[in-house]
Amino acid sequence: MSEKLSIALIRGDGIGVDVANAALAVVDAAVAKVGLPALSYEEITAGAAYYKETGRDIEPGGEKRAGELDAIFLGAIGLPSVRHDDGTEIAPHLRLRDRYGLYAGVRPVKAYPNAPQRLADPRAAEIDMVILRESTEGLFFSAATHGRPNFASDHEVRDTLRITRPTTEKLFHFGFRLAEKRKARGRPGKLTCVDKANVFNSMAFFRKIFDEISPQYPEVEATHNYVDAQALDLIRKPWEFDVMVMENMFGDILSDLGGGLVGGMGMAACAEIGDEVGLFQPAHGSAPDIMGQDKANPLAAVLSGSLMLDYLAERTGNHRWTEAAELVETAVQSGFEANRLRPMEFGGDMGTLAVTKELLELLG
């Protein structure tokens, strides 16, 4: 991989355009600050608006080209008024997950000073955890293949939940390594397997593989929790968790719950990582009702950009990309500490452009 890196940029729909622009402005400033060559961006058109115009959800050759570049950055995709005939959303990013095996969905959940904390307990200020969502199988397997393995009639519909050993083993190894990295940075170094192994064969299989791999990582505390109990514990005592690994649908639901604990989906960053390709996007939707109105909170996209920089460090072996990632994270942290970041999403007085400008000033 050359030092001059190219990013596939899919701005998408709604506020995806606004937050992508904000995130890349901050990313570019951090990259310049540490003296790295500027990233180049190759734009790929995709999303519901493009589908409405053309009948395609991504431009010809777009999927292939995205995977050939050094990373993919996505703003947001989907419009409530544009659907397939069966009522499902336009979702080419699900196909990208499937095509490139983006099995590790990393969803950080972190509380920041002066940002809303939905729990009254003062320990809520200590929330700093990661939900690791398997992103290619589980119940979403049906969505990526657009229903092909399923049964549907006018009287009954069945969706297919798929768990495979190769993907699940890779997911758990990723999770244990992530817990090790967090332990080296002062976090607990604990990995919790979240499942429903007491009811479903698929989940018992999921847990069995977790227990087989766990002994290979003796420095990581390995625990289990049923998904319903985990949802309860994320309200009762979220500060006790570090990294939680789970099936696709469970991760989709609990990561939104996690976002709600620390303010809202405007803080929900996301990385989706495979063996050769990484895709980075805010986990929120396209919010077309505020598109172009300078109201969107860009911080989920900005923090996703930080995850992308960290990924580029691992891909290239160049620690300066990690330095750039840390600059972005520090700017967000110090901005909240000084009450210089006040997004409208949280009842503040700062729109997308103002938050972006403040972050650029904090980066110096």
Confidence of residue 267 (pLDDT cuts 50, 70, 90): very high
How far apart, in whole angstroms, are the C-alpha atoms of residue 61 and residue 43?
12
Cα–Cα distance for residue pair 10/99, rounded to 1 Å: 16
pLDDT above 70 (res 143): no
Can you tell me the distance from the alpha carbon of 355 to that of 343, in angstroms, rounded to the nearest whole number?
Answer: 7
The CATH homologous superfamily of the domain defined by 117-151+159-261? Isopropylmalate Dehydrogenase (3.40.718.10)
Range(s) within the chain of domains with CATH label 3.40.718.10 = 1-102+274-364, 117-151+159-261
Strand-pair partners of 104: 134, 273
Q: HSE on the CB side for 213, CA within 13 Å?
A: 22
CA dihedral 34, 36, 38, 41 (to 10 degrees): -100
The mean predicted confidence, pLDDT, of the chain is 94
Residue 358's pLDDT is 98
Name the percent of the chain lying above pLDDT 70: 96
| pLDDT classification of 144: cutoffs 50, 70, 90 | low
Closest by alpha carbon to 140, among 160, 168, 118? 160
The answer, yes or no, to whether residue 338 has pLDDT greater than 50, is yes
Q: Is the pLDDT of residue 1 over 50?
A: no
For residue range 167-225, list pLDDT tens digits in order.
Answer: 999 999 999 999 999 999 999 999 999 999 999 999 999 999 999 999 999 999 999 99
d(CA 154, CA 161): 21
> What's the CATH code, domain 1-102+274-364?
3.40.718.10
